[in-house]
Amino acid sequence: ERYADPPKLTFNTMDPGTVNTKMLDAGWGMCGMPVSRANDTFHLLTDENLADTSGKYFVNLSPRSPMKEVMDPECRAKL
């Protein structure tokens, strides 16, 4: 019964961007976006249009191609 109706899981990755934090300020200065605008993670987790999307890489909420090494089975096997 416990697994009678398991939830559907999807897996995506994203570039979170550069967000102004205390650590960024201490090292490089405030050169990113305000924390109040850093909402890509929330959007990717809650957008119903992405409920069936899995295995994608997002930059600024747009699907992008990852680095070529990511798609290389030999590189992945070394991990």
The model's pLDDT over 24-78, given as tens digits with 9 standing for 90+, comes to 999 999 999 998 888 988 999 899 999 999 989 999 999 999 889 988 999 989 9
Rg of the Cα atoms in the chain:
17
Could you tell me the pLDDT band of residue 1, with boundaries at 50, 70 and 90?
Answer: low
Which whole number is the average pLDDT over 11-29? 92
b/e per residue, 42-70, with b = 16+ CB within 10 A? eebeeeeebeeeeebebeeeeeeeeeeee
64 within 8 A of 20, measured Cβ to Cβ: no
Q: Is the pTM of this model over 0.75?
A: no
